[in-house]
Amino acid sequence: MISIKNLRKSFGQLEILKGIDQEIRQGEVVVVIGPSGSGKSTFLRCLNLLEQPTSGEIRFDDHLITAKNYNINQAREKMGMVFQQFNLFPHKNVIDNITIAPIQVKKMEKSRATTIAIDLLRTVGLEDKKLAYPSQLSGGQKQRIAIARALAMEPHVMLFDEPTSALDPEMVGEVLDVMKKLAEKGMTMVIVTHEMGFAREVGDRILFMDQGQIVEEGTPDQVFSSPKHVRTQDFLSKVL
Amino acid sequence: MIRKKLQKISVFLMIAIIAVAGLGKVAFAEGDTASKKTIILGTSADFPPYEFHKIIQGKDEIVGFDVQIAKQIAADMNANLVIKDISFDSLLPALDSGRVDFIISGMNPTPERKKSIDFSDIYYDGKQSIMVRAEDKNKYKTMDTLKGAKIGVQKSSLQEEIGQTIEGANLTSLDKISDILIQLQTKRIDAAIMEEPVAKASLTDNTAIAKAVPVTDINGYAVGVKKGNPELLDQINKTVARLTKENKVQEYVDEASSLVNGQQKKLDTFSFFWKYKTYYAAGIKYTLLLSVLGVIFGFVIGLFIALLRMNRIAVLRWVGMAYIEVLRGTPMLLQLFIIHYGLAISLGINFTALESGIITLSINSSAYLAEIFRAGIQGVDRGQMEAARSLGMTHTQSFKTIILPQAIKSVLPAIGNEFITIIKESSIVSFIGVADLMFQTQVVRGLTFAALNPLIIAGIIYFILTFGLSKLLGLLERKLRTSDIH
């Protein structure tokens, strides 16, 4: 579904991604772990070109999205993204936050977009907040709304960029629950996270990144129980 | 994508500019429909009994003996007379730029003026006199006693030249006779040089005409026309000769003087306002029109400039920056004069005074608003743009529906301040003769020679406008904030 070839990204002199090759398959939940500054978020943000790769190729649903003349908005419609800082639109209420993209991008009828939004709100357990403004919500509620907002575009893949890092500990669970349900429904997901328990439980495949490279990958059991690489061992001994 | 947005905005701007330009065209066309030709008189109507405003049967009219002469000239030419009230200082530029066809404004044909315009024969030979405070009446018996005195005169007038010949005199040059009178009453000056008819018309219990009489070789008043216009000059001279022969001019002077007399009466501020309310009402209308249009156009242009200023293309960014820096770095009065007179003389672009005023206010405020918008747009968290783009929205869609509303909301107080500033600063259009609140205030001052009342009333009105607006904006802000508690 997403195929990444020799992806490199530099900010000025600093090379953040040093050649990444990956294949994300349909229905797969891929969890990216690694120390801070290892390039996890940059890697994720390259997938929908929020960061423009310095070189390399990314294919999504058989389109070469890194091609110069490719209209990236078409790919982004099918790639939902959830941010660490939620990035809800503060001047719009919950329903409008969720329906704005279907209405503007897919030219969907407002009534139909609203029906879909209410359904999604039910899924994330926030139907009663449909008229609230983001400033009236807790962090966990905001992130669940952000997930619903991304899902409203009916994406083929969901990208999560440290979705629980900005949350108070007691709110982490409600967001992870929503993500878990999503994974169970067969959604293709790429998740950057520090929640190792969640990674182990939900992930089909774990990528361990360090210094701009994928150092080790495998099933959760392989990576967490018997890490091969010394840097993986070192990292896991610190976080587990 | 951003280019598409810019295209849309520039098309809108062009329409706006054409619409403004069109205003002038329409007005011009209407004037043309009359079969008689039109001749435009320029005069500074704050100079009783030569030319001044007076309410006659509820209508504000410019009257005075200069106006009578202008009417005779127009009648002899079988033309419609249109009178334009312009500050004395701006009469020559107005003639030069073709905004008026001739000027009659108690103007002496000095050699200096003769360099730039042509004058008719003298139509009235006025004497000069020295006006002093009543208690000083006997202090200044001869011109010699004025040596070293502080003397008030009207700016760029013959009296100013006379003043310059008085040894050691300390001259104060002002635009309005009423200002000179206030300076005299408040002892900032010791004496004022004025035409005799003016001095007589403006006498009060506190002032007197001294025995000293200024002498000058240039006496009398003449009609001014643009250089290289012998036919018009000939025609005017014929009328002047006829009026002199029929001894009509003195008759007009007496008539006008009697119109002035009885105008001054002590009134309290409110009664004063009530008596001259039509002037103030007319002024408020223009002040509001100018401010509202200035703000609307300033808003649109400012947004466009802000987009230029933040553009990815360096040249456009530079253009935006230059626009902002130049407009913020030069006085608005200067911008007004360049647009109104400068463009007319150098490029033949003749905006009406109202158009020039609107354009100046719009572009001036647009520079400030552009910086306000830029601050607002840059103040929106970049995660907002990323979130919108990650949903597949285009750059334009994201900017329009996500970034801009938040930016404008956050800079609303700053925009409100700019609106209030425009209301106040719109007063500068009075310099080019737009009859706004400030202009009407000056008219009332010229009319009544009242020192304080016209100014206090104008102050109160400006305050009500700005204070009312700031309260209104505060209300709007609170309303917006309830939907977005941070």
How far is the C-alpha of B245 from the C-alpha of B251, rounded, in Å? 12
Residues of B in contact with A87 (CB under 8 A): 381, 383-384, 386-387
Question: Per the CB < 8 Å rule, is A90 touching B390?
Answer: no
The yes-or-no verdict on residue A94 having pLDDT over 60 is: yes
- Residue in chain A lying closest to B386 (CA): A50
**Contacts of residue A48 in chain B, CB cutoff 8 Å?**
390
Evaluate if residue B261 carries a pLDDT over 70: no
Strand A205-210 vs strand A29-33: parallel, antiparallel, or unpaired? Answer: parallel
Q: Chain B contacts of A81, Cβ < 8 Å? A: 387, 390
* pLDDT tens, position by position, B441-476: 988 887 777 778 889 999 999 999 999 998 988 888
Which stretches does DSSP call E strand in B35-127?
A: 38-43, 46-47, 51-56, 59-63, 80-85, 102-103, 117-124
Residue B20 CB contacts under 8 Å (≥ 6 apart), including other chains: B297, B355, B358, B359
Nearest CA in chain A to B385: A87
Per-residue pLDDT at B10:
54
Residue-wise pLDDT for A186-203, tens only, equals: 999 999 999 999 999 999
Closest residue in B to A136 (Cα–Cα) = B485
Alpha-carbon distance B125 to B130, whole Å? 17
Query: Do A77 and B391 lie within an 8 Å CB cutoff?
Result: yes
| Each residue's pLDDT tens digit, B30-59 | 444 446 789 999 999 878 788 888 877 777
The pLDDT > 70 percentage for chain B reads: 90
Task: Say what the pLDDT of residue B141 is.
Answer: 85
Write down the mean pLDDT value for chain A: 92
What pLDDT shows up at residue A108? 93
Confidence of residue A216 (pLDDT cuts 50, 70, 90): very high
Given this model, what pLDDT does residue B34 score? Answer: 47
Residue from B390, B398, B410 whose CB has the most chain A CBs within 10 Å, to mutate: B390
The pLDDT score that the predictor gives to residue A26 is 92
The pLDDT of residue B21 is 47
- The per-residue pLDDT for B32 is 43
Average pLDDT over residues A52-61: 92
d(C-alpha B22, C-alpha A73), whole Å: 42
pLDDT of residue B266 exceeding 50, the answer is yes
Given this model, what pLDDT does residue B337 score?
93
Asked whether the whole model's pTM tops 0.95, one would answer no
At residue B33, the pLDDT reads: 44
**Chain B: residues touching A (Cβ < 8 Å):** 381, 383-384, 386-394, 397, 401-402, 405-406, 409, 483-486
- ipTM of this predicted structure: 0.92
Residues of B in contact with A73 (CB under 8 A): 389, 392-394
A87 CB near a chain B CB, below 8 Å? yes
The string over B46-85, giving b where at least 16 C-beta atoms fall within 10 Å of a residue's C-beta and e elsewhere, is: bbbbbbbbbeeeeebebbbbbbbbbebbbeebebebebbb
Q: Residue B11's pLDDT band (boundaries 50, 70, 90)?
A: low
Reply yes or no on whether the pLDDT at B258 is more than 80.
no
What is the spatial distance between Cα B63 and Cα B101, in angstroms, rounded to a whole number?
A: 19
Residue A211, φ and ψ in degrees, nearest 5? 50, 45
